[in-house]
Amino acid sequence: MQKEVSRRFVFILIILFLAFLVFKTIYQGPIGAKVIDNTPPTVTVTHNPPSPNSTQRVTFTATAKDESGISQINIFVDKGIARTCTSSPCTFTGGPYSAGSTHTYYATARDASPNQNLGTSSKQSFTVATPIRPLWVTAYYATWGVCELTPQLMDYSAVTHIIHHSIEPTTMPPNYWEFPDPDGGGPITGQQYFERGIGDGCDQPIQADLINLAHQNGVKVIL
């Protein structure tokens, strides 16, 4: 009886071992054999900025993934190889491109397996826009009333340009400006022009402060 049980137990072990070998062969290849990688890399590629204009450069970024690793990435722009890398990610910066032109790009990648499987991204394209000219927001700033609104009190973030008469430098008195006389009788001196009420303490030149503060805030002054 014991011998019969032992034989059955051994038989079951043999069946289980053979089943294991079959499973190993089907799903992982023959025992001792190397698994062959036949799967190509997954490749994606993008560009930035998404909607470039004719003053901007464009950066292309290719990313590749594979279990065997990546050995090479090529970025193609307008049918030619723009950049070759040996690792992921791979980047290339081109342009600026002409306004209205359309550009197509894609990327390829090879894995590091013995087969060097080749993967290719989908093709992408973009059309270059014409840059939009910035709008002008102007303010007229006269010399009268500057005691109430000095250059230091102005909100420069609200404008792009300040119009401030037509004035020119003068040396009398120092750091003042002249206002050309439209009647041809000679320029009015800076001191006469900038007196804003005798005795009110508000008769100092403002042009230097106005120009300096405006330029510090990225605002242009039209004189």
Is residue 100 pLDDT above 70, yes or no? yes
Residue 68 C-alpha from the chain's centroid:
32
What is the architecture, at CATH level 2, of domain 42-127? Sandwich (2.60)
- Between 130 and 186, the higher pLDDT residue: 130
Angle at 187 between CA 181 and CA 191, to 5 degrees: 120
CA-wise closest residue to 69 among 123, 26, 118, 112: 112
pLDDT tier at 61, thresholds 50, 70, 90 = very high
Instruction: Enter the tokens of residue 214.
Output: 């405006």
- Between 223 and 93, the higher pLDDT residue: 93
Instruction: Enter the tokens of residue 8.
Output: 């059955």
> What value does the mean pLDDT take over residues 140-157?
76
pLDDT tier at 122, thresholds 50, 70, 90 = very high
For the chain, the average pLDDT equals 78
Span between the terminal Cα atoms of the chain, in Å: 118
**pTM recorded for the entire structure:** 0.51
114 prior amide bond cis, ω within 30 = no
pLDDT tier at 77, thresholds 50, 70, 90 = very high
pLDDT digits (tens, 9 = 90+) for 1-25: 555 556 676 667 777 777 776 666 6
pLDDT tier at 144, thresholds 50, 70, 90 = low
> What value does the mean pLDDT take over residues 87-96?
96
In angstroms, rounded to a whole number, what is the distance separating the alpha carbons of residues 70 and 64? 7
Residues of the chain with CATH 2.60.40.10: 42-127
CA-wise closest residue to 51 among 102, 90, 89: 102
pLDDT tier at 126, thresholds 50, 70, 90 = very high
pLDDT digits (tens, 9 = 90+) for 182-199: 444 554 444 444 433 344
pLDDT digits (tens, 9 = 90+) for 20-37: 766 666 555 555 556 788
Say what the pLDDT of residue 74 is. Answer: 98
